[in-house]
Copies of this chain bind each other. A is one copy, B any other.
Amino acid sequence: MYVLMATAVARDRDKAVRFFHALSDETRIRIMERLRDGEQCVCDLTEALKTGQSRLSFHLRVLKDAGLVTDRPEGRWIYYSLNPNALRELEDLVSWLTESHAASVRRC
């Protein structure tokens, strides 16, 4: 039981670190901002963010590895979009981090 709870916390912590790291970069935040309004292919993003293709590819991979975005190949394009599940998880993790978890002996 203790062990189970411990691993659950470790999992949350791990996921939090993963997500937060993926979002700890301006270019990646800009990508997320773009994707909020719908899926985009890499060339849309290079255009919008005015940056090199391999640089963008690198950052997209970081976001994808974290699970925050998904990709969908179509013809010679690859469309990226936000992963709504991950975003929900992100919000949950922020709540988890924010709210007290004191195994309260006091009356609440």
Using a CB–CB cutoff of 8 Å, the interface residues on chain A facing chain B are: 9, 13-14, 16-17, 20-21, 23-26, 29-30, 32-33, 36-38, 87, 90-91, 94-95, 97-102
Contacts and interface: CB of A to CB of B under 8 A. Distances in A.
Given A24-B20, A37-B102, A32 B90 contact: no
A24 B26 contact: no
Q: Which of A16, A24, A25 has the most CB of B within 10 A?
A: A24
A88 to B, nearest CB: 8
A9 B36 CA distance: 14
Given A23-B97, A91-B98, A94-B90, A13 B30 contact: yes
Contacts of A21: 20, 24-25
